[in-house]
Amino acid sequence: MKSLICTTPGQFDYAEAAQPTLVSGQAIIKIKRIGICGTDLHAYEGTQPYFSYPRILGHELSGELVAINDQTSFKIGEAVTFIPYFNCGNCIACRSNKPNCCVKMQVCGVHVDGGMREYLSVPEWTLLHGDGLSYDELALVEPLAIGAHGVRRADVQPGEFVLVIGAGPIGLGTMEFARIAGAQVIALDINDSRLAFCQSNLQVQHTINAGTENVSERLAQITGGDMPTVVIDATGSQKAINNAFQYMAHGARFVLIGLQKGDISFSHPEFHKREGTLMSSRNATKVDFEHVISAMKAGLVSPTNYITHQVSFEHVAEQFESWLDPKNGVIKAMISL
């Protein structure tokens, strides 16, 4: 079978590999769609934490189930996706029902080889039924689950002002699920076209361009002087994260979905007097995946809105670098096999 390997930062190579064989506890998927996310882009750039080369990228995946052991609810030939976070099941996090932050976490396409290949073997327990969704939709369940998990971590309540920083795919999904939770969503970015997308496609009530507007003044205006009670970063930008502490209402929760390599810096007195809560949000759980699938089926989310670029597997290596350029307007690139 053909696979695409990121051999070093900035370099992809196609290679032939043996097709996986079925073993106990595993299932084999014929890959149909691969969504490209920030992790893939950062790996290609050489800026992704916890990463080593060579690596087969790809964890936003959907496909046709072609092999599985007996005694399962899954059927050969059905459309599936899966949870790409392979946890150990034994550590403190797994025992505490937090498998998404397993001590020995192996993320498909990050710590172990992912889905940029024709066939992929995955643990049976990670499989999710397609439930009538398309391959495009199923490949977008995982990135939307990241946002859904962040919203659940924040315990967003109806009517709250929720500031989402970053209007990339993860930020957009976070906005969607904050809206579904009943929040008044505020989108913050430096790209006017992405902010316009938030308003026209996601029904986001308020947008702010951090490059041209006074963010604190606009937030005070929107919230009646209160400031947002939930702030969620989906940028992974050190500057954006550090700046965002000043946007918090008293008693607010600040959730970090975005990940960066440096140190967080903020005024302790300012954070302390707010009795602020700071938390990270890593990956997602089965509950989040199921919430996303239910929202898709109910028409609460239209994930294919995000797909701006489509390419066949044979042309990924030549086009991948162009997706890093903001001028090309990529929100979600989708690979077809």
Question: What are the residues whose beta carbons fall under 8 Å from the beta carbon of 32, sequence distance 6 or more?
Answer: 62, 63, 64, 79, 135, 139, 336, 337
Residue 46 confidence (pLDDT): 86
Mean pLDDT, rounded, of the chain: 95
Q: Which of 16-20, 189-193, 261-265 has the lowest mean pLDDT?
A: 261-265
pLDDT in tens, 62-82: 999 999 987 789 999 999 999
Residue 121 confidence (pLDDT): 97
Secondary structure class of 258 (helix, strand, coil): coil
Whether residue 214 is predicted with pLDDT greater than 80 in this model: the reply is yes
Residue 39 confidence (pLDDT): 86
**Region 154-175 average pLDDT:** 96
Residue 104 confidence (pLDDT): 96
Whether residue 49 is predicted with pLDDT greater than 80 in this model: the reply is no
pLDDT in tens, 117-148: 999 999 999 999 999 999 999 999 999 999 99
Question: φ, ψ for residue 214 (rounded to 5)?
Answer: -80, 105
Spell out the domains of the chain, with CATH numbers in brackets: 2-139+302-336 (3.90.180.10), 147-280 (3.40.50.720)
Cβ(249)–Cβ(228) below 8 Å = yes
Cβ(95)–Cβ(66) below 8 Å = no
Whether residue 95 is predicted with pLDDT greater than 80 in this model: the reply is yes
Residue 70 confidence (pLDDT): 76
pTM: 0.94
Residue 47 confidence (pLDDT): 79
- For residue 171, CA distances in Å to 206, 211, 256 come to 14, 18, 11
